[in-house]
Structure 1
Amino acid sequence: MKLLLPLLILVANTYSFVVSSATSVSIKLEFDKFDAIYQGQLGTTRGCLTPEENVFRVCSDSLKNDGNAPYILHHNKVTEKVVVLFHGLSDSPFFFRSIARSIHQQGNNVIVVLLPGHGKNQADADMQDSGLADRWRAHVLEVNEYAASLGEQRYLGGFSTGGALATEYILQNPQSVKGLMLFSGALALESSVESIANIWGIQKLAKVLDGDYATQGPNPYKYPSVARFSAFELTEVIFSVRDLIEKGAPLNLPIFAAHSMADITTPIIGVKNLIAVNSGPDTLFEISLDADVCHADVVINEEQLSDMQFDTSIPEHVSSCNVPKANPKHAEMLGSLKQFLSTY
């Protein structure tokens, strides 16, 4: 018996080491796969200038800077929940920095995606690509399938356009995802914009008006303007979501939505219409009109605002919602999101 106990302990320790090592190797292999996804999109990738603990980031010389790169916040193992986050039109993964960090601190792996055509030094061809919306959709599918290797239950989240893409995917694949999170979800646009999108030939005209698309501006993590053509690619996704809802696509899952009542870019009615047809539980974090939070500012806190180093010296970018401001309800929003994820 005296000899048996040490032997059992040795066997148990050996088994624990083997399992731990296998998990570590497995996770590293998954990071290589994530890098390979973006080699196809960005051409070549490289090591990032400032590596961070528990962060795997895919950097490339074709990006404006490393802050535009897609990344994974991880726990060196497969977690119960993995959350995939999609940014907005003309934006980058930078804008999910505080939200992703909060979700990661709850013990979840988090994948922050770079949508095709975004974060790049040169994006003119992308932003005039007639297949851009389909490239976004293909990327949502690819990353969501990849996410299954990092978590047992998958949750999708999106800011603005990213929210529309995540919603469309879930309506088309209702069994593949456990929950949906929307931040200024672009499920409706200002009525005049939607009307213009239905005019025959408007996309060809948009390409002409866009001209040579500029990517450098006062915010190093965002394009200085939304390309008109890409905005009409977004309306295609929005109309698809609306059509799926009207046709009775099944929706029965937990939904978290944070939206400002002052948002005139994507009116909250689109999100409310989605929640109305959802059979599952929902959490709607409404930011009151008097808080005066612009569409793009919902996801921004003071730290992100400081890190942006937004250049206010450029006259055409210093009015109203063009200048980023921190969401005064940001911490409260994260608290509500934390409760949502711990409950569902």
Structure 2
Amino acid sequence: MKTSILVLFLTTTFSFFVAAQSIEPIFDEFDGLYQAELGSTQGCVNPEVNVFRVCSSALRNDKNAPYILHHGAKTEKVMVLFHGLSDSPFYFRSIAKAVYQEGFNVVVALLPGHGKIDPDADMEDSELADRWRSHIAKVTAISEQLGDKIYLGGFSTGGALATEYILQHPEKVSGLTLFSGALALDPNVEFMANIWGIQLLAKFLDGDYQSENANPYKYPQVARFAAFELVEVIFSVRELLEKGAKVDLPIFAAHSTADRTTPIVGVKSLMEYNQATSVLYELPKELEICHADVVINEEQVSEIGIDGSLLEEIMPCDVPKANPKHAEMLTNLMAFLAAN
């Protein structure tokens, strides 16, 4: 009798422990977030082991969907990654995989207005920047449950949003990783952002914003209106720094010196404010690595599948090319994460 009671007690205790450690409820929260954003979610065509992906009929395809790479339980560290303007979580695939293989749970979010079959209404939304900010906060809150220490990472616009969030909530995050971080834009774009009525003009010029093009994971162009929403975030980051927001956490940044879209000066300025470790992996100008190419490798380029032979000489940065230093960049990133 005593043996039966002991077995029952141990079984109940073990079941409670397993339930307490389960991350399934976190997946439900993640799915619920995107149900609200996309209208509905559904099963993915090709489910993968240790990948929780939130697919939807509102998205162009499943590889535009947000996802979590998980180890089946909470981990010591969790990385949350936010993509750039006009692209999708696909662009973080190689980086997310590498971080996951280092023992992290990795969350790759989908920013409002992105990855969709019909993004026109989103790309004209006067609340778009605030929707991005709200999404960053919600995804971060969900992700906090997946690990003891949380790191935020961002590519381009995602980097600006992650930086702004950290400046406003420094106690919540253990580190920041930036890839082509959009902390500065071409001076002409920044100047135009201050012109009265420029956003109304941008909406008019954007017209009926389309998503279809040869690249299945990126919109054919950056919406002008959305670009000015990004400028609002960049100006907010600068204002926070100028008003004394504390920057005291490890920062890793990978940036091409040849980047004309987001000049490297913005990232360097942030690092000057930082009181903790700053690591800048600077891609030499002579390599002519375009803004969006910093995060992709040969496998991703092959999957995008664009034949750029007719476009290369006219608009070289419209043709995806693998970052020739991609593997070395990841080695430096892993060393940074191991040390911090």
* TM beyond 0.5: yes
- Describe the shift of the 1:72–1:292 C-alpha distance in structure 2 as closer, same or farther (beyond 3 A): same
Instruction: Quote how far apart the aligned CAs of 1:40 are.
Output: 0.4
The alignment status of 1:51 with 2:51, answered yes or no, reads no
Measure, in 1, the Cα distance between the counterparts of 2:59 and 2:313: 22
- State the partner residue of 1:31: 27
Structure 2 unaligned regions, length at least 5: none
> Please, what TM-score do these two structures have when normalized by structure 1?
0.94
For residues 321-332 of structure 1, the aligned pairs below 5 Å read 321-332=317-328
8 Å CA contact retained: 1:317, 1:323: no
The percent identity for this pair of structures is 62
Instruction: Quote how far apart the aligned CAs of 1:148 are.
Output: 1.2
Partner AA of 1:111 in structure 2: V
Partner AA of 2:268 in structure 1: K
- State the partner residue of 2:134: 138
Match of 2:171, SS state, is: coil
- State the partner residue of 1:95: 91
- State the partner residue of 1:82: 78
Match of 2:172, SS state, is: coil
The alignment status of 1:209 with 2:205, answered yes or no, reads yes
Instruction: Quote how far apart the aligned CAs of 1:288 are.
Output: 0.5
* 18, 21, 25: which one aligns with 1:21: 18
- State the partner residue of 1:269: 265
Measure, in 2, the Cα distance between the counterparts of 1:280 and 1:256: 11
Measure, in 1, the Cα distance between the counterparts of 2:189 and 2:49: 43
Q: Provide Cα deviations, 1:4-57, integer angstroms capped at 9, x if missing partner.
A: 9x99x9799858953663256x21111111000000000000000000010000
The alignment status of 1:151 with 2:151, answered yes or no, reads no
Measure, in 2, the Cα distance between the counterparts of 1:104 and 1:66: 20
Instruction: Quote how far apart the aligned CAs of 1:74 are.
Output: 0.2
- Describe the shift of the 1:342–1:224 C-alpha distance in structure 2 as closer, same or farther (beyond 3 A): same
8 Å CA contact retained: 2:311, 2:318: no
- Describe the shift of the 1:20–1:291 C-alpha distance in structure 2 as closer, same or farther (beyond 3 A): farther
For residues 187-206 of structure 1, the aligned pairs below 5 Å read 187-206=183-202
Instruction: Quote how far apart the aligned CAs of 1:60 are.
Output: 0.3
Measure, in 1, the Cα distance between the counterparts of 2:194 and 2:105: 40
For residues 1-344 of structure 1, the aligned pairs below 5 Å read 14=11, 17-18=14-15, 21-22=18-19, 26-312=22-308, 319-344=315-340
- Describe the shift of the 1:274–1:12 C-alpha distance in structure 2 as closer, same or farther (beyond 3 A): farther
Instruction: Quote how far apart the aligned CAs of 1:112 are.
Output: 0.1
Measure, in 2, the Cα distance between the counterparts of 1:318 and 1:14: 68
Q: Provide Cα deviations, 1:147-203, integer angstroms capped at 9, x if missing partner.
A: 111111110000000000000000011111000000000000011111111111000
Measure, in 2, the Cα distance between the counterparts of 1:75 and 1:174: 27
Structure 1 unaligned regions, length at least 5: none
Measure, in 2, the Cα distance between the counterparts of 1:16 and 1:190: 60
8 Å CA contact retained: 2:69, 2:107: yes
Instruction: Quote how far apart the aligned CAs of 1:317 are.
Output: 10
8 Å CA contact retained: 2:312, 2:319: no
8 Å CA contact retained: 1:188, 1:268: yes
8 Å CA contact retained: 1:312, 1:318: no
Aligned length: 338
8 Å CA contact retained: 1:218, 1:314: no
- Describe the shift of the 1:317–1:75 C-alpha distance in structure 2 as closer, same or farther (beyond 3 A): farther
Measure, in 1, the Cα distance between the counterparts of 2:313 and 2:207: 19
- Describe the shift of the 1:101–1:165 C-alpha distance in structure 2 as closer, same or farther (beyond 3 A): same
Measure, in 2, the Cα distance between the counterparts of 1:151 and 1:19: 20
Instruction: Quote how far apart the aligned CAs of 1:136 are.
Output: 0.1
- Describe the shift of the 1:151–1:129 C-alpha distance in structure 2 as closer, same or farther (beyond 3 A): same
Partner AA of 1:249 in structure 2: A
8 Å CA contact retained: 2:155, 2:181: yes
Match of 1:175, SS state, is: helix
Give the alignment's Cα RMSD to 1 decimal.
2.1
Match of 1:338, SS state, is: helix
Measure, in 2, the Cα distance between the counterparts of 1:12 and 1:341: 41
- Describe the shift of the 1:217–1:250 C-alpha distance in structure 2 as closer, same or farther (beyond 3 A): same
Measure, in 2, the Cα distance between the counterparts of 1:189 and 1:130: 20
Measure, in 2, the Cα distance between the counterparts of 1:309 and 1:20: 47
8 Å CA contact retained: 2:186, 2:261: yes
